[in-house]
Amino acid sequence: MTKLSIFSEDTQAAVDFFAAAYESNEYFMRNYSRCRELLLVEKDPEGAAEAVMFGIRHARLLHMDDFLLPVIYIDWMLPELVHELEKQGIPEAVIQDSFKDVEIWIQSYRKYHEGQVGLDRVEWVFRSLAGKVRRFGSLQFEEVTYEFPFLIFENRQSGEFQALACPDLLIDQDGSISGTNGRSVKRETKTYLDFGDRALTGYRVDLKSGTVKMESPVLLNTKEWELKLAPGEKTVAVHIPEGSDLSSDSIDSSFCTAKNYYDNQILVCDSWLLDPHLEHILPEHSKIISFMNRFHKMPVLTGRPQILERVMGFDFTMEELEQFSCTTSLQASLKKYLLDGNEMFTTAGFMLWR
């Protein structure tokens, strides 16, 4: 494989200019060695990110460019990272696409730090560098442990899906998990799930609205319904990088290519891009709406909707909304919708992947 360049010219220039200062400091060389060991030998991106954060704190004490440190470490490790992924049998094009995420987050950091080169989404980026998150075309894919508190069933004859809530889940008056969006709870109901010899009873999820229907429990005959996915099992998560082409052809191509590398039948996702309320602020034939409609929806507990940071900007708060100056039609539609007293939600979803 030819030498891989993953940084923009400005990023590489900053790395080349400041690297010597870090290289001449014994602490940073020891810290780098530990990070390298965790990422390349132990295959532990979370541990490697934690080690780097200690390095960032030390750089801050020395009044150095603290968040440039992980970028410098990545530059030093890059040839070995590429070699490791090649050994895993990952094609060159997939490695190149997967590593694009590094510069995406560097540019995001620059946007909110007056043009300074740095990286603060270290753990996420390390997951791509370790080959745990792989990009195929427009989308990223990652083997994960399924954690959403819902059991997913498929009808053995019709192929219809149902999702039942796990027991002891607190659901608010609107069918969201209590505490979602930091909203006040006017009425709260606890779910239950009863497994009998031939059937199970529980509360179903409305897979179109992504809310739990608490009016009355449903009964599923176990001869008719097959359990496809439950918490604690392995599945594949899809992630949507910033700037992805969400056209139907591009998404179909991503799914088709990625399927060759995984054997799971159910694909899961959680994102602002799955929120059914997007239909109120986007055109019917929007690429985002088309992508959202591929998934069956489920509620997910988040303190604030992800759409605020992804559309309005990181660290955006609702207190800023009225005075916010919109520069895109999506921002303008979202602002009006929220000021009219409506809510948006981060939403989980799943789809069959055969």
Shared-domain flag, residues 162 and 90: no
Is residue 22, in this structure, part of any structural domain at all? yes
Q: What CATH number has the domain bearing residue 252?
A: 3.40.630.120
User: Within a domain: residue 139?
Assistant: no
Tell the residue number behind the tokens 């918490």, with chain if given: 231
Could you say which of 193, 218, 243 is where a domain stops?
218
What is the rounded CA–CA span in Å between residue 52 and residue 72?
11
Question: Amino acid identity of 55?
Answer: G
In a domain, 65, yes or no: yes
- Give pLDDT, residue 264: 83
- Tell me: do 194 and 239 sit in the same domain: no
330 with 253, same domain: the answer is: yes
Two structure tokens written together for 85: 């992924």
Per DSSP, the residues of 192-255 read -EEE-SSEEEEPBEETTTTEE--SS-EEEETTTEEEEE-TTSEEEEEE--TT----HHHHHHHH
Q: Worst-scoring range by mean pLDDT, 169-178, 275-284, 309-318, 343-352?
A: 309-318
Residue 1 pLDDT > 70, yes or no? no
Give the integer Cα–Cα distance in Å for 95 and 251: 19
pLDDT cut 90: percent of the chain above it = 87
Domain assignment of residue 224, yes or no: no
Residues 179 and 281 both lie in one domain: no
Q: Please, what is the average pLDDT of the chain? A: 94
Residues 325 and 272 in one domain: yes
Q: Total structural domains in the chain?
A: 3
Residues 33 and 113 in one domain: yes
Q: Are residues 163 and 212 in the same domain?
A: yes
Report yes or no on 3 lying in a domain: no
pLDDT digits (tens, 9 = 90+) for 111-128: 999 999 999 999 999 999
If DSSP codes are grouped into helix, strand and coil, which group holds residue 122? helix
Same domain, 87 and 128: yes
Rounded CA separation 331/344 (Å):
13
- Is residue 273 in some structural domain? yes
pLDDT at 269 over 90: yes
**Does 19 score more than 90 pLDDT?**
yes
Kindly indicate the confidence band of residue 313, based on its pLDDT and cuts at 50, 70 and 90: confident
In a domain, 138, yes or no: no
> With 60 as the cut, is the pLDDT of residue 230 above it?
yes
Question: Is 312 inside any structural domain?
Answer: yes
User: Do 212 and 292 belong together in one domain?
Assistant: no
Mean per-residue pLDDT for 88-111?
92
Confidence label for 2 from pLDDT (cuts 50, 70 and 90): very low
In this structure, the answer to whether residues 89 and 195 fall within a common structural domain is: no
Q: How far is residue 28's CA from residue 88's CA, in Å, rounded to a whole number?
A: 29
Residues 251-277 have a mean pLDDT of 94
Residues 90, 75: Cα–Cα separation, whole Å: 20
- The mean pLDDT value for 60-64 works out to 96
Residues 77-92, mean pLDDT to the nearest whole number:
92
The Cα 59–Cα 74 span in angstroms is 16
In this structure, which amino acid lies at residue 291?
F
Q: In terms of residue numbers, what domain contains 54? A: 9-132
Pair (200, 245) in one structural domain = no
282 with 239, same domain: the answer is yes
**Which is more confidently placed, 259 or 354?**
259
146-205, pLDDT tens digit by residue?
999 999 999 999 999 999 999 999 999 999 999 999 988 899 999 999 998 899 999 999
